[in-house]
């Protein structure tokens, strides 16, 4: 449909206005300054930045990964700094924040659509502001007014960046094993000692300062996650006027060399090793956020935002890969229709071959399904903030909690598959670095790993979000039943798909409602995550199909075809995926690891 290879603007507008009716949000107090034209202007700005500023440097960053100079500073292409300054000046980073702290109170749904342009343009460039925004959001929610003014505002003004520092060598997925310590000082600050690894954006020369949010243990704190507290540890301590002053004792120890996502520095940091403050009092200066011992739940506010952001990034990279392979398939002549025997007939564009169409439709189903998922989650954030009743806000919170592991994991899994198919559509060309799709694949591969691996998301969904309380799932089923009723009333393909969805919902219920043998259930949690993810995305495709049902023209026809693809080729795997959960299969539990 679109010749634009970054994102399909037409689709974004379909999702925002025709399906989610985001323009109606303008009737709410928080968003009173907006109308659809203004939303479109912000989308224009994001599209411009993604297309003209981010996308042009994406390959450059891949080919010139960060390295450490002799002075210990990170060396990166200067074009990255230029792009990030342009983004900083756009004001987009503060767009959703309250007006009283310099924000623009843009709905999250619109903001998320905008950010998809940036991530599609250059995921590794976008990672810096993406983490910084989530960092500022945590500070605004949990910080003191002084902390907000000192640390969050410079981020929202686009001048400073922020990180999240959780992992340590011995504590990756197992955060309770963090050993970094924070020793309280008489002046109310703490001194932080320890090593953190996998810190994205942990050091660079791209901003005036870096605000690290560091999980650490206070002396005498209980073992495990409950002993963790959260600290602001800036790279430079702010001076009297709030400007970056003396260097804090945070040292870049090493840079990771990654398969992709190379423009984002990924660092090993030492806190309080004395390298930057020889002779001074030992330790990196840290400022406690919230209460002692409440570090993990506070950090998870940022983590949950990051998880949905990871999903959104995966969608964006999948989406641009789809459009690149679509353009290639329209342009590349090769072969002839299978039933044409005339070898002298001209070759046809490969989009005419059924198997190429399969690969394109699959990508479309993944990336537009994934986009629907992340935009729906963003709208739930808007609902939390502005729903007309407390009950509606609470329901949005519940649903968002349930959907977060799905919004993180489903796009990371399936939009990666989309990138894989984008390579395949290109054939040998797709395997070369002359085309961008191989980088998309390498960049996107990280998303199943960071901010909680795929398996961690599965345990979060089945263990924490479903087994502990059925409220979230019940709320989801209620919404789905409403969609099913509407689609059934429509008749035709939507009604057929509604029946299929109802069938698979019943399968999920049958697999999960019996809460015996929880251990065996959790042992198959990943299959459950993938099954429920497919059910959720099928629901969102049913929603899109119903909106598109009476539309004329190629765009709406494409929506209907992609929905048909998803229901015919994707959703049926739910049945075998759920089988091991239903049977409480113990293969993974009873296995003798020595037999591997």
Positions 342 through 361 that interact with its own copies (CB under 8 A): 343-344, 347, 351-358, 360-361
13 belongs to the catalytic site: no
> In whole angstroms, how close is the CB of 574 to its own copies at the nearest point?
9
In the bound state with its own copies, the residue whose beta carbon lies nearer, of 48 and 59, is 59
In the bound state with its own copies, the residue whose beta carbon lies nearer, of 31 and 565, is 565
Q: Is the dihedral of CA 331, 335, 339, 340 positive or negative?
A: positive
Q: Does 5 bind its own copies (CB under 8 A)?
A: no
Token pair 């960071």: residue: 450
Residue of 25, 79, 292, 65 whose CA lies nearest to 184: 292
> In whole angstroms, how close is the CB of 73 to its own copies at the nearest point?
21
In the bound state with its own copies, the residue whose beta carbon lies nearer, of 282 and 568, is 568
> In whole angstroms, how close is the CB of 458 to its own copies at the nearest point?
7
The residue count for the chain: 596
Q: For the window 206-245, what string marks contact with its own copies as x by the rule CB under 8 A?
A: ----------------xxxx--------------------
Residues 441-500 that bind its own copies (CB under 8 A): 441-442, 445-446, 448-450, 453-455, 458-459, 463
Residues 494-553 that bind its own copies (CB under 8 A): 519, 522-527
Token pair 């999240």: residue: 164
Residues 251-270 that bind its own copies (CB under 8 A): 256-261
User: How many of the chain's residues bind its own copies (CB under 8 A)?
Assistant: 96
Residues 390-449 that bind its own copies (CB under 8 A): 423-424, 427-428, 430-434, 438, 441-442, 445-446, 448-449
Point out which residues pair with 349 in neighbouring strands. 333
Distance of CA 334 to the CA centre of its chain: 37
> In whole angstroms, how close is the CB of 545 to its own copies at the nearest point?
13
* Cα 13 from Cα 419, distance rounded (Å): 23
Residues 6+ apart with CB under 8 A from 471: 398
Torsion region of 274: left, alpha or beta (phi above 0 gives left; psi -120 to 50 gives alpha): left
DSSP string, 60-85: HHHHS--EE-TTS-EE--HHHHHHHH
Residue in 87, 411, 580, 581 binding its own copies, rule: CB under 8 A: 580
Backbone dihedral angles phi then psi of residue 51, each to the nearest 5 degrees: -80, -45
Give the binding range for its own copies (CB under 8 A) out of 108-116, 118-126, 144-152, 562-570.
562-570
* Cα 279 from Cα 373, distance rounded (Å): 53
Residues 140-199 that bind its own copies (CB under 8 A): 167, 170, 172-174, 176-177, 198
List the catalytic residue out of 168, 368, 438, 451. Answer: 451
* Cα 96 from Cα 104, distance rounded (Å): 6
Q: What is the bridge-based pairing of β-strands 236-238 and 244-247?
A: antiparallel
> In whole angstroms, how close is the CB of 221 to its own copies at the nearest point?
11
Q: Which positions are annotated as active-site residues?
A: 451
């Amino acid at each position: 449909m679109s010749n634009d290879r970054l994102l399909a603007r037409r689709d974004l507008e379909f999702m925002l206005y025709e399906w989610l009716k985001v323009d109606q949000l303008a009737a709410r107090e928080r968003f009173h300054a907006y109308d659809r034209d203004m939303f479109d202007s912000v989308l224009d700005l994001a599209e411009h930045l993604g297309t003209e500023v981010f996308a042009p440097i994406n390959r450059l960053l891949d080919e010139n990964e960060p390295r450490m100079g002799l002075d210990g500073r990170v060396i990166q292409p200067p074009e990255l700094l230029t792009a990030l300054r342009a983004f900083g000046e756009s004001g987009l980073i503060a767009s959703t924040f309250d007006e009283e702290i310099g924000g623009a109170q843009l709905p999250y749904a619109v903001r998320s659509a905008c950010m998809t342009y940036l991530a599609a343009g250059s995921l590794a460039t976008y990672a810096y502001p993406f983490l910084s925004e989530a960092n500022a959001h945590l500070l605004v929610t949990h910080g003191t007014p002084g902390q907000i003014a000192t640390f969050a505002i410079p981020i929202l003004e686009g001048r400073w960046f922020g990180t999240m520092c959780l992992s340590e060598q011995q504590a990756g997925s197992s955060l309770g094993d963090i050993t970094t310590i924070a020793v309280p000082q008489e002046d109310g600050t703490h001194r932080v000692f320890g090593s953190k690894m996998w810190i994205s954006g942990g050091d660079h020369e791209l901003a005036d300062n870096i605000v690290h949010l560091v999980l650490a243990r206070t002396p005498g704190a209980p073992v495990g996650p409950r002993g963790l507290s959260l600290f602001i540890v800036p790279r430079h301590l702010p001076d009297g006027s709030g400007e970056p002053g003396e260097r804090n004792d945070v040292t870049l120890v090493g840079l990771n060399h990654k398969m992709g996502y190379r423009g984002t520095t990924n660092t090993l940091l030492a806190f309080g090793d004395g390298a930057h403050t020889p002779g001074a009092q030992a330790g990196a200066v840290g400022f406690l956020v919230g209460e002692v011992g409440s570090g993990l739940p506070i950090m998870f506010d940022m983590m949950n935002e990051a998880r949905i952001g990871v999903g959104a990034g995966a969608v964006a990279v999948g989406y641009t890969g789809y459009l690149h392979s679509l353009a290639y398939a329209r342009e590349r002549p090769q072969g002839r229709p299978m039933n044409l025997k005339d070898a002298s007939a001209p070759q046809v564009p490969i989009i005419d071959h059924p198997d190429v169409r399969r690969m394109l439709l699959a990508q479309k189903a993944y990336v537009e399904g994934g986009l629907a998922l992340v935009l729906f989650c963003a709208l739930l954030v808007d609902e939390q903030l502005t729903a007309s009743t407390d009950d509606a806000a609470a329901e949005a919170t519940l649903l968002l909690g349930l959907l977060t592991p799905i919004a993180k994991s489903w796009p990371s899994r399936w939009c990666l598959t989309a990138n894989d198919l984008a390579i395949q559509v290109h054939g040998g060309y797709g395997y070369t670095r002359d085309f961008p799709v191989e980088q998309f694949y390498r960049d996107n591969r990280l998303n199943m790993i960071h901010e909680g691996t795929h398996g961690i998301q599965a345990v979060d969904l089945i263990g924490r979000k479903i087994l502990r309380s059925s409220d979230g799932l019940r709320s989801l089923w209620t919404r789905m039943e409403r969609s099913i009723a509407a689609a059934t009333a429509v008749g035709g393909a939507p009604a057929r798909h509604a029946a299929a969805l109802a069938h698979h919902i019943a399968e999920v219920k049958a697999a999960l409602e019996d809460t015996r043998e929880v251990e065996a259930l959790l042992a198959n949690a990943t299959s459950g995550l993938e099954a429920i993810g497919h059910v959720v995305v099928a629901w969102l495709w049913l929603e899109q199909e119903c909106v598109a049902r009476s539309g004329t023209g190629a765009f709406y026809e494409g929506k209907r075809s992609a929905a048909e693809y998803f229901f015919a080729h994707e959703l049926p795997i739910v049945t075998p995926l759920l089988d091991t959960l239903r049977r409480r299969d113990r293969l993974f539990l009873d296995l003798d690891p020595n037999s591997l």
